[in-house]
Amino acid sequence: MPLNQDVIFSCSIDDGHPSDMKAFELLSRHGLNATFFVPIRNREGMPVMPAADLREIASRFEIGSHTHDHCFLNKLDLPVAQFQVMEGRKRLEDMLSRTVPGFCYPGGKYSRVHAQLLRQAGFAYARTTTNLCFDSGRRRFEMPTTMQFYPHRRSVYLRNFVKGGRWHRRQAGLRLALENDDWMLRLYALFSHARKQGGVFHLWGHAKDIDELNAWPQFDQFLGHVAQRVKPANRLTNAQLATRAFLRG
């Protein structure tokens, strides 16, 4: 079967850990595109990269907001959630001297009221942690992904599948995730499926996880594989992906 050349690749890296600079270097070297979702502080105690590094990343890629303190919105009273959303973005915008249109829900935790809050606050889109999708979803404040760069157990995929809905659209991804026990085989199988569909492959991850897994060579190799197969016009930031997918709001 000939492969469809129209596959779109987007990548997002969460949490603003200093190791994000390594992801930045590799994504840049391979000529790909990405969004880095960054809190101002991490209440879990993880370091967040300094403003100079953020500006360097912003010179090439998109920076998105991830609340002020990396708070799970569903754990907060609404006014506090609103503060986290507004202040997290304002601080980033002050640091970068540019608008920040994107948001990613820490821990993937949110409800419809939070999606509404983001819309009212003027964000353009929000990314979730729903995986196994080969499109941009149906709602601009619930943008899904395809795979996290992490060796999850099968049970994690099953839970994510059940919780994320749109089962008919995601069942091919689930089958591939369950069939491929080795997470690298799974990664390449899901990407190959996206190519056959001419769909979207949205990779996301945490640089700190890649550090701990000693998986930078595998990350590098996969990005090289992608760069050989995705045309430059289809290497998008999350904001560009949202713009392309939700032109009519």
User: For residues 64 and 106, which CB has a smaller minimum distance to Zn ion in the complex?
Assistant: 106
Q: Does 15 bind Zn ion (CB under 5 A)?
A: yes
Question: Half-sphere exposure of 66 toward its Cβ, with a 13 Å CA cutoff?
Answer: 27
Among the listed ranges 12-20, 42-50, 52-60, 207-215, the one in contact with Zn ion (CB under 5 A) is 12-20
Give the total of residues touching Zn ion (CB under 5 A).
3
User: For residues 14 and 142, which CB has a smaller minimum distance to Zn ion in the complex?
Assistant: 14
Q: Which residues contact 68 (CB under 8 A, 6 or more apart)?
A: 39, 40, 41, 83, 84, 87, 88, 91
User: For residues 69 and 93, which CB has a smaller minimum distance to Zn ion in the complex?
Assistant: 69
Q: Which residue is nearest to Zn ion (CB)?
A: 14
CA–CA dist 133, 164 (Å, integer): 10
Q: Which residues contact 139 (CB under 8 A, 6 or more apart)?
A: 115
Determine which residue in the list 10, 14, 183, 215 makes contact with Zn ion, applying CB under 5 A.
14
> Which ranges constitute the DSSP H helices of the chain?
20-29, 51-58, 78-96, 112-120, 154-164, 167-179, 183-197, 207-213, 216-227, 238-245
User: For residues 22 and 109, which CB has a smaller minimum distance to Zn ion in the complex?
Assistant: 109
x/- letters, 92..111, toward Zn ion (CB under 5 A): --------------x-----
User: For residues 14 and 62, which CB has a smaller minimum distance to Zn ion in the complex?
Assistant: 14
Q: Does 20 bind Zn ion (CB under 5 A)?
A: no
CA dihedral over 150, 154, 159, 162, signed as positive or negative:
positive
Q: Could you say which residues in the range 137-196 bind Zn ion, by CB under 5 A?
A: none
DSSP state at residue 2: P
CA–CA dist 190, 3 (Å, integer): 14
Question: Half-sphere exposure of 54 toward its Cβ, with a 13 Å CA cutoff?
Answer: 25
Quote the least distance from Cβ 105 to Zn ion, whole Å. Answer: 8
User: For residues 104 and 176, which CB has a smaller minimum distance to Zn ion in the complex?
Assistant: 104
Quote the least distance from Cβ 209 to Zn ion, whole Å. Answer: 11
Q: Which residues make up the interface to Zn ion (CB under 5 A)? A: 14-15, 106
